[in-house]
Structure 1
Amino acid sequence: MEAEQPADRPMPPFNATIALLTVSRSVERALAEALEPRGLNVRKYGILGHIASAPGLSLSELARRSGITVQSTHTLIGSLVAAGWVRSEVSANGRPAALSVTDAGTDLLAAVTADLAELDARLFATPAMRAVADALEGAMRERFEER
């Protein structure tokens, strides 16, 4: 993940925002590569995780939490239902569908969790990257404590 700086070019001034984006893109590519053999992409994995953590979510609430349109969410849900990982149940006419993860979806999430542990161990193995991971964990805890 660390790129060598050519000797003939000086290191640009450090900017935390740009550094975090650079690391983030590299990590996202590695995540996409890890998810692909399981039939997932980053968005599908995120949607599946949201549904697992809050069964019964409506499409509109899921879209809001995911930061994508209802139409995109609907398309993603359709692919997750077709794969057998999500169940969409309508309790009565005119009521929104309640979404839940199937047993196959739960098994998939467990497998991906193991894959992510291996990915984290590889990506954050150096002391500097371990410090990044620890700092990010602290930032996420602060963010969720604010809610």
Structure 2
Amino acid sequence: MAVILVTGMSGTGKSTVLDLLAQNGYRTVDTDHGDWIDRTGEPLWREDLLGELIAEHERSGRPLFIAGTVANQAVFYARFDEIVLLSAPIDTILERVASRTGNPFGKTEEERNRIIADTREIEPLLRGPATAEIDTRQPLNAVLDQLAALAGAPDLRSST
């Protein structure tokens, strides 16, 4: 079964999409939560933990969606069946981070400036290895259906 990376900049909807995929019965891991990231310096995936997760999943027979954006994610690109870049224009991203309640990042001017800079500098680096790009301005059900299709599953429209 497919192992799918869902990546993108802050505010593109990674956590929202993963929450909804989980509600629809998919196995999901949002690496922003838990012990997946070593935050002692630049945030990096803990390669031992992520490697174990993927190895365990390969025996499970179910699709797995992993969300995150970290500097060392390329180490795992060969182990993902799909690398999906979620994207949105910077104005949309800034509106989302200003209004979200589950994540405080992006509320200060300094953090918003970082989001703008990261989107200009890092998003193009993510676009290169992406096997699919989904514009998250479209209806959420359409985003979910595209992700489900990449996992080899039918549309989720009737269940969301």
Q: Could you state the TM-score of these two structures normalised by the residue count of structure 1?
A: 0.30
- Between Structure 1 and Structure 2, the one with more helix by share is 1
* Larger Rg, first or second structure (1 or 2): 1
Q: Could you state the TM-score of these two structures normalised by the residue count of structure 2?
A: 0.28
- Between Structure 1 and Structure 2, the one with more strand by share is 2
